[in-house]
Structure 1
Amino acid sequence: MKRIGLVAAVALAACTPAAKQPGGSKETAAAAATSARPSDGESEAYMRKAEEDWAALAVRQIPGLMERIIADDYVGVSSGGDVRDKAKQVAGEEADGTFVSSKLEYVHYRHFGDTVIAQGQESLKRADGKPDLQLIWNDIWMFRDAKWQVVASQDSVLPAKQ
């Protein structure tokens, strides 16, 4: 009788998901979470498109963009030194006619697992003929809840070239 109970216990243990995967269920859950994250190349393509669209907000509306790419716990520092949460950042991203074009010059990405530091530069052409604006910036992206979002950013204005 003990032998039948032992055989049943061994058979039951062999059928559990933790037994099927080396290392048990914690490693299985971690592997599943990691596999849900897109590859670095796919992630960069998504982020680059989002960064291009963010730069384009200076000249045209893109409804819902900021709500999608900015995390709820976002904190950013504008080129003027204003500290903004998500609500202030979303409210402040309306084209007002100051700029006629915006171009993303470059973006470099550094991957640290579920965190990516994006550093880039963009050029904005003014409508009033005043000197154009050059911004350099850093965005911190995190992969949480199955999506990439910006959790922090900081912009700086490059001085005009003489």
Structure 2
Amino acid sequence: MGFVKRQLVFIPIASDELDMLVGGVAVDGRAAYTVTPELMAELEYDEDETEDAEHAAMVLASVAGLAAHGERVVVVAEVDPSLVRPGEDPANGQVQLTQCPPSAMIAWFAEEPGVDVADAAAIAKGMTIDQAWAQPQVQELLENHDLLWNDKVEYHGGS
């Protein structure tokens, strides 16, 4: 079998779902975020700005997580593109991930210890990404608190 190009996806989760890194939580038909042609167009990125677009997709995933789970925890995975289906909000990079084996997960992003997201989370709850993005409390959080990158091997000793 030849080399298959992997697609980088960002999966917003609740922190109690981090066990998915070791197969404790299955990923089936889940919203995730990636660099879509629509995202590139929406943010006016050129072909050579993929890294910036990937960062944008991760931040958008974190806002989706804030709205859905009240916190910003994002699992990063490199999946076979055949596992990725179009999502409802492609301009924000949303896709449907049919499944994601733990072996494809490489890292996760989480809030720095001590960062209070309660206000932003309360305001964003149940909103779309665009609605949440427009909230000053969410903007303040995004501008002042970068998420911390964690290697998968750091999770419970990892594999």
Superposition TM-score, scaled by structure 2 size = 0.26
Structure label with greater radius of gyration: 1
Superposition TM-score, scaled by structure 1 size = 0.26
**Structure with more helix by fraction:** 2
**Structure with more strand by fraction:** 1
